[in-house]
Structure 1
Amino acid sequence: MTTAPRGRPRSFDRGEALRQAAHLFWLHGFSGTSTRMLATALGISSSSLYAAFGTKAALFDEAVRTYAQRYSEIYAGAVAEPTVARVIERLLTDSVNEFTRANEGHPGCLTSSAVMADAPPTSNVRAYVAELQSSDEDLLTSRIERGIQEGDLTAGTNASLVTELVQTIWHGLSVRAELGATREELLRIATTAPTLARPDPLSQSRKA
């Protein structure tokens, strides 16, 4: 005789629930997304939603944190490439593929969109995202500095300035995705950007 497992199994997949919640927050903002809308989209009751996430603010916080982690994983994967040119290309192309995921229903990057301006004032999610983005940028800068030391880039290259340029392109690609640019259009830019890592790039004498 098989013993039934204790406890009541969840009636929804948490990862899918967070994806659905992120989609609603993207469309309507935090204030415009009601608990009823969230419960309906997730296919659960309001009481189950509260039991799973606590509050709407807590659900927003977890959805954004989960979403932001996806980009940190992209950075971590990109810096493992053997050359800085490949690092930049992989970072941007993988990000473009993420910006234009058809099943997300919201092009661009949630964490750099206007949705974040509507985040609840009691949540520290914006500070978390800022810290995560800063950590990602530091990771990229360290990898570029290593490339300079290894002779992959010209001595005197300004690693911080290269990082700033890559980040500017990254945010621009996100905005263009949100405005309706296709994956193919964005990938053309992403695959051209690695020219930043060719010899005679941004030297120390051309600091901003």
Structure 2
Amino acid sequence: MVKKTAGRPRLFDRELALRRAACLFWRHGFSGTSTRMLVASLGISNSSLYAAFGTKADLFDEAVRTYALRYSAIYERAVGETTLERVIERVLIDSVYEFGRVEEGHPGCLTSSAAMADTSATFDVRGYVADLQRFDEDRLRARIERAVIEGDAAPTTDPTVLTGLVQTVWQGLSARSDLGAGREELLAVAHLGLELIGRTCLTEVPR
């Protein structure tokens, strides 16, 4: 008789677990997401959940921080573009695609969702997200200032005002995605915003 060997245990996919947890928090909020729901969605036991992430609040914090860094990475890539037009385009368009990653079950932007205000335990992570967004805003403003100096933006462009406009459009897209707006609708809004910004703030750059 051939003796069966035990199969190798399935490796724990932390990134997948964070995505699944984030989707639950998105849909049900922090308070509405029970440990039982998390265990069922992540496919692990209670003890494994606590061993991997700590408390439910710890898991929530890690999920939010993870997604906040994904949004921030868009700014990091965008400011490396050669023209200001492409910088702003990447900030807005890439963000729309990140908000609407339907293949991962995203129902919007986690950092602007109601889950962020659901419990006082999220105080530290809310501060983290706010600091990260201010850092991204400063990074964008510095890039716009450079564009004005280099002649890639109209000389009358106020970098602080233009940065505020881009951030306002970004926040609007984020909020609308959280309310259920689809990708096509958000892209249409983003492209209109880009067109209006191009008419008033950008100069024609030879290509």
Gaps of 5+ in 2: 1-7, 203-207
Q: Using the TM superposition, give the Cα deviation of residue 29 of structure 1 relative to its aligned residue in structure 2, in angstroms.
A: 1.1
Q: Using the TM superposition, give the Cα deviation of residue 107 of structure 1 relative to its aligned residue in structure 2, in angstroms.
A: 2.7
Aligned to 1:98: 98
Q: Using the TM superposition, give the Cα deviation of residue 86 of structure 1 relative to its aligned residue in structure 2, in angstroms.
A: 1.1
Q: Using the TM superposition, give the Cα deviation of residue 108 of structure 1 relative to its aligned residue in structure 2, in angstroms.
A: 2.2
Q: Using the TM superposition, give the Cα deviation of residue 10 of structure 1 relative to its aligned residue in structure 2, in angstroms.
A: 7.1
Structure 2 counterparts to residues 1-208 of structure 1, below 5 A? 11-121=11-121, 123-198=123-198, 200-201=200-201
Match of 2:154, SS state, is: coil
Structure 1 residues 184 and 141: CA distance shift in structure 2, 3 A: same
Deviates more, 1:179-188 or 1:124-133: 179-188
Kindly indicate whether the alpha-carbon contact (under 8 Å) linking 2:57 and 2:121 is maintained by their aligned counterparts in 1.
no
CA distance in 2, matches of 1:128, 1:10: 33
CA distance in 2, matches of 1:46, 1:123: 25
Deviates more, 1:54-63 or 1:170-179: 170-179
Q: Using the TM superposition, give the Cα deviation of residue 175 of structure 1 relative to its aligned residue in structure 2, in angstroms.
A: 2.1
Equivalent pairs: percent with the same residue?
A: 65
Q: Using the TM superposition, give the Cα deviation of residue 131 of structure 1 relative to its aligned residue in structure 2, in angstroms.
A: 0.3
Structure 1 residues 151 and 122: CA distance shift in structure 2, 3 A: closer
Paired AA for residue 184 in structure 2: E
Structure 1 residues 122 and 103: CA distance shift in structure 2, 3 A: closer
Paired AA for residue 174 in structure 2: S
Structure 1 residues 9 and 62: CA distance shift in structure 2, 3 A: farther
CA distance in 2, matches of 1:162, 1:193: 12
Aligned to 1:205: none
Deviates more, 1:188-197 or 1:141-150: 188-197
CA distance in 1, matches of 2:179, 2:197: 28
Deviates more, 1:45-54 or 1:188-197: 188-197
Runs of 4+ in 1 over 6 A off after TM superposition: none
CA distance in 2, matches of 1:75, 1:118: 27
Paired AA for residue 67 in structure 1: Y
Q: Using the TM superposition, give the Cα deviation of residue 37 of structure 1 relative to its aligned residue in structure 2, in angstroms.
A: 1.1
Q: TM-score, normalised by structure 1?
A: 0.86
CA distance in 2, matches of 1:163, 1:94: 17
Deviates more, 1:100-109 or 1:165-174: 100-109
CA distance in 1, matches of 2:10, 2:141: 42
Gaps of 5+ in 1: 1-7, 203-208
Aligned to 2:205: none
Q: Using the TM superposition, give the Cα deviation of residue 174 of structure 1 relative to its aligned residue in structure 2, in angstroms.
A: 1.7
Structure 1 residues 119 and 143: CA distance shift in structure 2, 3 A: farther
How many residues are matched? 195
Structure 1 residues 122 and 83: CA distance shift in structure 2, 3 A: closer
CA distance in 1, matches of 2:147, 2:185: 29
Deviations 1:27-77, CA, capped at 9 Å, x for gaps: 111111111111111000000000111111111111100010001110111
Q: TM-score, normalised by structure 2?
A: 0.87
